[in-house]
Amino acid sequence: MMLNPLNLKHLNTMDAHDADMITLNLEDAIAPARKKEALYNIALFLSHMETSESFIIVRTNPLNEGGAEEISFLNDFSFDAIRLAKVKNQNEIAQALTLLSTDKELHISLETKEAFENLSTLRIDKRLTTANLGILDLLTSLGLPQSLVSLHNPSIHYILSKFLVDAKTAGIHPISFMFQDYNDTETFTQWCQLEKMMGFETKACMGPKQVAIANEVFTANAKDLERAKHIKAIFEKNAAIQENGFMDETYGFIDEPIYKDALLYLKENT
């Protein structure tokens, strides 16, 4: 979930939210004249924060627009990751990693056509763990109108699919885009359902209402967990007697690929 560090009430109630990740935003939503104020608010907040239930991320500006100075300034404070805006290439990844403390992760906002084309090659270090799809900026970079963002637009489906597959190919965790119409919970729910069907596990959120919906949609259901546990147990039992392919009364034919998929599901959802 994204928080504006100029709103001190939001910072002080951060742990009241159920978001897995909290992003403190220094980029687009902060006017240039107030970026330093927002940066100092984050520093003050982090210096007094004892613990947090959420993974804390600071979203910086692009490296050449203040991001390098922001990373250097914040490095010694207690947070988990930097999210770098408007990344284009490996050189920017390398520069950010050089600036960033080795105990922190690097996340990127995928908002440029260059990064979209080359995402599968950007992970030059294991500290780059996560990519966030900034679909509105990406469309602008591609010379496409933002009005294309609709549930049934094939171009958007392609962007989501390519982003997901390229991120997974690189070993990067993909986070789907933030839906701007905060009060349209019905459409937000439909986006979450579509993205879960595509293979996404995480959705960017603007506030508590969206967090609650995303948690409900993306949380594993009991039926799927039961299936994965059953497949794991029955396959391991049969494999012990050299039977790696067999018919199961409940779930039909089970072999090693089915077993591996069950293990993956259990790893991601337990």
Q: For every one of its 270 residues, what pLDDT tens digit does the chain have, with 9 covering 90 and above? A: 888 989 877 777 776 677 889 999 999 889 999 999 999 999 988 888 767 778 999 999 999 999 999 999 999 898 999 999 999 999 999 999 999 999 999 999 999 999 999 999 999 999 999 999 999 999 999 999 999 999 999 999 999 999 999 999 999 999 999 999 999 999 999 999 999 999 999 999 998 899 999 999 998 778 888 999 999 999 999 999 999 999 999 999 999 999 998 998 888 776
E strand residue ranges, the chain: 2-3, 21-25, 55-60, 81-84, 105-110, 128-133, 173-175, 245-248, 252-255
Q: 134-141 long-range CB contacts below 8 Å, 24 or more apart?
A: 134/85, 134/109, 134/110, 134/177, 134/178, 135/159, 135/177, 136/177, 136/180, 137/28, 137/86, 137/109, 137/111, 137/112, 138/110, 138/111, 138/112, 138/113, 141/111, 141/112, 141/113, 141/114, 141/116
- The pLDDT of residue 267 is 83
Count other C-beta atoms under 10 Å from residue 263's C-beta.
13
Per the CB < 8 A criterion, the answer to whether 3 and 23 are in contact is: yes
3-state secondary structure 131-167: EEECHHHHHHHCCCCHHHCCCCCHHHHHHHHHHHHHH
Q: Environment class of residue 267 by beta-carbon count within 10 Å: exposed (0-12), middle (13-18) or buried (19+)? A: exposed
The sign of the dihedral angle between the CA atoms of 69, 71, 76, 77 is positive
Residues 99, 172, 217, 145: what is their CA dihedral angle, to the nearest 10 degrees?
80
141, 112 contact by CB (below 8 A): yes
Look at residue 54 in the predicted model and tell me its pLDDT.
84
- The owner of tokens 């209402």 is 209
Parse the chain into domains and list their residue ranges.
2-218, 222-269
Residues 254/228, Cβ–Cβ less than 8 Å: no
Residue position matching structure tokens 């805006």: 85
CA 20/CA 16 separation, integer angstroms: 12
Q: How far apart are CA 10 and CA 1, in angstroms?
A: 11
Superfamily of domain 2-218: Phosphoenolpyruvate-binding domains (3.20.20.60)
Neighbouring C-alpha atoms within 13 Å toward the C-beta of 109: 28
191 bridge partner residues = none
User: Which residue, 87, 93, 89, 98, is CA-closest to 132?
Assistant: 87
Contact 210, 182 (CB under 8 A): yes
